Structure 1
Amino acid sequence: MPTTLDSLARDCRQALGRDATPTGRQQVVAHLRAALRDPAFVAAQFGPGAPERRVLYEDAELGFCIVAHAYTDAKEGAPHDHGPSWAIYGQAQGETLMTDFAAVEPATPERCGKARPTRSYALRPGDAHLYNEGDLHAPTRQQPTRLIRIEGVNMDRVRRLKWEVAEA
């Protein structure tokens, strides 16, 4: 059966309604991977001139949202987490090199935290990866990419602390 935005949202709502822990989030990862393997689903989320960030669905009860990201340029992101939330990155098109980081000095509202890289890996079409609360990571894109991100809360309303790479 083809995946639609409604069916993905329903599957995510059911999984998170049963178990909102990292174990339940892994079920959401599986649902997102299946959706990303459906070319019609991917095409429906990204039309010509797709904006860099577009909230496709926001769950009124559980608070999670499904977001489409369309990036047109190469970019190296800074280390970051998702504040009090979690996020699942799902690669729809292109490739993203993700780097995980470990905190060396904590971030505060007044000062950037310092973090050191611990591993890097590629996210390719159909891949999805969970970042739990506090997981530091940074994306690097060499070409245009499209991804679907599922956020525990809408990150448009979350203020996050800043991080930078620690000098060796």
Structure 2
Amino acid sequence: MEIFFEGDMIMAYTLESFSAECHRLLKAEPGPAGREKVCDVLREVLQDETFVATHLGDDCPERNIIYEDPELGFCILAHVNHGAKQSPPHDHGPTWAIYGQAAGVTEMTDWELVEPAGEGKVGKVRPAKVYTLNPGDAYVYNEGDLHSPRRESSTRLIRFEGVNTETIQRYRFEAV
């Protein structure tokens, strides 16, 4: 990986070095253990002010795919979210995601499945855990993990999807 050091402090990542390291980790361990290793690297990247400024500037759209791996299919996305918003409970269908908080605060709720969702059927969930993602935090959501983010003001995130979730079927869930 192409990382620049000054003493013990990491100075800069490039998108190319970051995505190459993530590819290497996920190819070696494609399951949850590899994702946790990617999450550790993401925490380092979130500390890189140059990387964050380059990819999460004010002109960044709310959802911006900055890298899509041609072999493994995972995507790295930059998100600049303006203002308050609460998302409904959701999973990532048959894939996984990693959320990395670069700026702002996100309150995340993990949900417990009560009734599965399906074609034409909204799933039912109940809250299981509420926690906060602060700048520098990153968290893995494996297949089937249900969660919902809430923010009271603007946030900036680097997020992974195991595959581009705009290309897969996902079902809706509601709290009970």
The bucket for the TM-score relative to the shorter chain is over 0.9
Q: Provide the residue aligned with 1:124 in structure 2.
A: 134
Matched, 1:24 2:26: no
Q: Which amino acid aligns with 1:141?
A: R
What is the aligned-residue RMSD (CA, Å)?
A: 0.7
Instruction: Give the AA of the match of 1:71.
Output: N
* Structure 1 Cα separation of the partners of residues 147 and 159 of structure 2: 14
- Letter of the 1:5 counterpart: L
Displacement of 1:48 in angstroms is 2.5
- 1:108 is displaced (CA, Å) by 1.0
Q: State the Cα deviation string for residues 8-57 of structure 1 (Å, max 9, x = none).
A: 10110000010001011100001100000111110010222221100000
CA distance in 2, matches of 1:147, 1:120: 19
**What are the equivalent positions in structure 2 for 1:139-150 lying under 5 Å apart?**
139-150=149-160
Question: 1:48 and 1:88 mapped to 2: Cα distance?
Answer: 22
2:70 aligned counterpart, secondary structure? coil
Structure 2 residue 110 is the aligned partner of structure 1 residue 136: no
The runs of at least 4 aligned residues of structure 1 exceeding 6 Å deviation read: none
What one-letter code is carried by the residue in structure 2 that aligns with 1:52?
E
Q: 1:115 aligns with which of 125, 136, 152?
A: 125
**Structure 2 stretches lacking a partner, 5+ long:** 5-11
Write the letter of the residue equivalent to 1:75: K
The amino acid of 1:4's aligned partner reads T
- TM alignment of 1:82-121, pairs within 5 A: 82-121=92-131
In structure 2, what residue type is equivalent to 1:138?
S
SS in 1 for 2:118: coil
Question: 2:91 is paired with a residue of what secondary structure?
Answer: coil
Letter of the structure 2 residue corresponding to residue 43 of structure 1: A
Secondary structure of residue in 1 paired with 2:170: coil
> CA shift at 1:158, angstroms?
1.5
What are structure 1's unaligned runs of at least 5 residues?
none
Q: Distance in 2 between matches of 1:7 and 1:131?
A: 23
Aligned counterparts of 1:128 and 1:47: Cα–Cα separation in 2: 19
TM-score if structure 1 supplies the norm length?
Answer: 0.97
Aligned residues: 166
1:31 and 1:152 map into 2 onto residues whose CA distance is 16
